[in-house]
Structure 1
Amino acid sequence: MWTEIGAAVVVVVVAIRLLYRWQSGRCYSLATLHGKTVIVTGASAGIGKETARDLASRGARVIMACRNMEKAQKVATEIRVSTNYAGDVEVRQLDTSCLASVRAFANRILKEEKQLHILINNAGIVGPPTREMTEDGLEVTMATNHYGHFLLTNMLLGLLKKSAPSRIITLSSDSHDYVNKLNPDSLNFERDYYSSMTAYGQSKLCNILFTLELSQKLEGTGVTANSVHPGWVDTEIFYKGKITWFMWVCGRIFILIGKDARLGAQPTIHVAVSDEVEGVTGKYFVDCKVTKTTELAQSKKLARQLWEASEVDVRLQPEEKHY
């Protein structure tokens, strides 16, 4: 009896896995990126790594913006070899949870790079079990997933405009569905309940709202901004640092039925290179298709309030504004 039950469970799991992967969106664009410069944050593993690999294979100059330089250098070598040195792959230090690191990285880019055609805000973490603050006074999940990319994007907007047509892609998640309110005066959970999933979901909601307001500010510049949900992807995000048992279980489930990192990178790659997306901005993509978000994530008023609060929290300077 137990043997039959076990076999039935295996069959069901395999069927779900095959069906989910079969219906997952894929990028079919054959676009080349010779002469184009791309930045991918968090490119040393998972979705970011596979995104960097694909764009390098298309001939792009790919700048891997990573926290762990030793690990990133090894991955960069792997990408160069696996793509037959089709593109130029470089590694630079960036910790999106640290505003000083973001500013140092962005200032170096502005000093050394003459153009930037694609910015992919990919780096992210799942929040720790208990609320933790960075040395900038920001909750660590929000700092890593939202504030760091907010500051980075603002500082690079001038270069992106100069290089237009150019694209900004920010990775979000369907986890934003779990959030039913956003308090711009308590983005770091100063007065609101904190949990790992609440923090993660809020940061992903902020990614969408940030993109919405950004697209409004960039109207007519030739720079587009979109957010992407990669799907259920088996990556190391579920096992890094301090995680809850719930996230550990999610990680195990995604191993069984989710996408691998290569397939999980397809929606990002599609929005970054496909001719179909040329001129499309302010949208949320799932499986390479524009998809509706929650009503909360569509609020232009809330998007504007988030932007204003984020400017204050990252202490955005006049010379760092390019909109």
Structure 2
Amino acid sequence: MDHKKIILITGATGGMGKATAIALANMGHTIIIHGRDDLKTEAIVKEIRSASGNDHIDHLTGDLYLMSDVKKIADAFKAKYDHLDVLINNAGGVMDKERSLTTEGFEKTMALNVLAPFLLTRLLIDHLKKSDHGRIVSVSSDAHSLSAKPDLNDIEMKKKYDAMTAYGNAKLYLIWNSELLAAELIKCRSKITTNTLHPGAVATSFASGSDLGWFYNFLAKLARPFMKTAEQGAATAIYLASSPIVSELTGMYFVNKKIAKPSTKYYTANNAKHVWEYCYGATKNWVDTE
């Protein structure tokens, strides 16, 4: 990217999201970080401004578990900015051992990791089209190949729930949705690109809000010498958001800044279409009719 961009990053008040925001702010781009808490997010804005010397740092707050908040975030962005160059769907996480629902009735893993980025992307796609080369970057995980066991007749796992399986499924669905969106954008002759990535094993607190947090903290202490820092984990997202090398690559899955092959164990065109249609239907109430 030769000129300065407007970049929106979800889940950017800590870990890889924050590291991504700081790195892109250092490049001089306008960065809008998303967080759940106003005071914390405002504090991170000040921190990023101080660390980067870039005053063009803004914030939006909302709970990505709730599609109503996703819409508020999109509406707030569109009210202030006339276009969007890069959307980084970074927010995500593992939920509790017991299946739980949002107040809108969605299983929490699906809501945060799949429905929120699906809806936010859909709501901001017209703003991305106003960019010379809009980019969508979504943080997936190799959990999509390690723990996914999707039952497409029970996407929200009402019959049999396991937290890590739910997380793996969600990250798999995220990849499928990105691939389908890429194909649709190509058909429309759009210059928008959409790619997913695995950040690597990163020592962050992505499961600390769940009752699995103690387990991951324990594993992290054991594995810390072998794990990436948040800054190292953010490298591929930064690369996909900013490098001219990937400006025309779309529908790809990246690991360590290189194209990798996602798991095809459960992939069929019908399965991917089924997930897309589920997401489309689940979020339709928060999309203004044309």
Normalising by structure 2, report the TM-score.
0.93
Q: Is the 8 A contact 2:149 2:168 kept in 1?
A: no
1:177 aligns with 2:115: no
Distance 2:40 2:92 in 1: 16
Residue 309 (structure 1) shift? 0.7
Distance 1:212 1:53 in 2: 28
Q: Is the 8 A contact 2:147 2:168 kept in 1?
A: yes
Matches for 1:54-73 after TM superposition, within 5 Å: 54-73=23-42
The match for 1:43 is 12
Residue 188 (structure 1) shift? 1.1
**For each residue in 1:168-194, what CA deviation from the matched residue of structure 2 results, as whole angstroms up to 9, or x when unmatched?**
000000001134542333221123x21
**Partner SS, residue 114 of structure 1:** coil
Match of 1:218 among 185, 189, 197: 185
The match for 1:102 is 70
The match for 1:12 is none
Q: Is the 8 A contact 1:103 1:152 kept in 2?
A: yes
Matches for 1:166-315 after TM superposition, within 5 Å: 166-179=134-147, 181-191=149-159, 193-219=160-186, 220-243=189-212, 246-296=215-265, 298-315=267-284
Residue 317 (structure 1) shift? 5.8
Mean Cα deviation higher: 223-232 or 105-114: 105-114
> What is the letter of the counterpart of residue 239 of structure 1?
S
The match for 1:136 is 104
Distance 1:108 1:234 in 2: 32
User: What is the aligned residue count?
Assistant: 288
Residue 53 (structure 1) shift? 0.5
Q: Is the 8 A contact 1:110 1:159 kept in 2?
A: yes
Residue 252 (structure 1) shift? 2.3
Structural RMSD (CA) = 1.8
Distance 1:320 1:172 in 2: 30
Residue 107 (structure 1) shift? 1.3
**For each residue in 1:217-257, what CA deviation from the matched residue of structure 2 results, as whole angstroms up to 9, or x when unmatched?**
11120000000100010011142332265433333234231
> What is the letter of the counterpart of residue 206 of structure 1?
Y
**Partner SS, residue 170 of structure 2:** helix
1:147 aligns with 2:122: no
Distance 1:241 1:32, change over 3 A: farther
Mean Cα deviation higher: 125-134 or 233-242: 233-242
Residue 33 (structure 1) shift? 4.8
> What is the letter of the counterpart of residue 194 of structure 1?
Y
Larger Rg: 1
Q: Is the 8 A contact 2:201 2:227 kept in 1?
A: yes
Q: Is the 8 A contact 1:196 1:244 kept in 2?
A: no
Q: Is the 8 A contact 1:155 1:320 kept in 2?
A: no
Any stretches of 5+ residues in structure 1 without a counterpart? Answer: 1-30
Mean Cα deviation higher: 67-76 or 116-125: 67-76
Any stretches of 5+ residues in structure 2 without a counterpart? Answer: none
Q: Is the 8 A contact 1:119 1:168 kept in 2?
A: yes
Mean Cα deviation higher: 242-251 or 220-229: 242-251
> What is the letter of the counterpart of residue 17 of structure 2?
G
> What is the letter of the counterpart of residue 196 of structure 1?
A
Q: Is the 8 A contact 2:147 2:165 kept in 1?
A: yes
Distance 1:206 1:260 in 2: 26
**Partner SS, residue 231 of structure 1:** coil
**Partner SS, residue 280 of structure 1:** coil
Distance 1:283 1:298, change over 3 A: farther
Distance 1:138 1:260, change over 3 A: same
The match for 2:87 is 119
Distance 2:127 2:68 in 1: 20
Which consecutive aligned stretches of 4+ in structure 1 deviate over 4 angstroms post-superposition?
Answer: none
Q: Is the 8 A contact 1:164 1:221 kept in 2?
A: no
The match for 1:15 is none
**Partner SS, residue 284 of structure 2:** coil
> What is the letter of the counterpart of residue 198 of structure 2?
H
**Partner SS, residue 218 of structure 1:** helix
The match for 1:9 is none
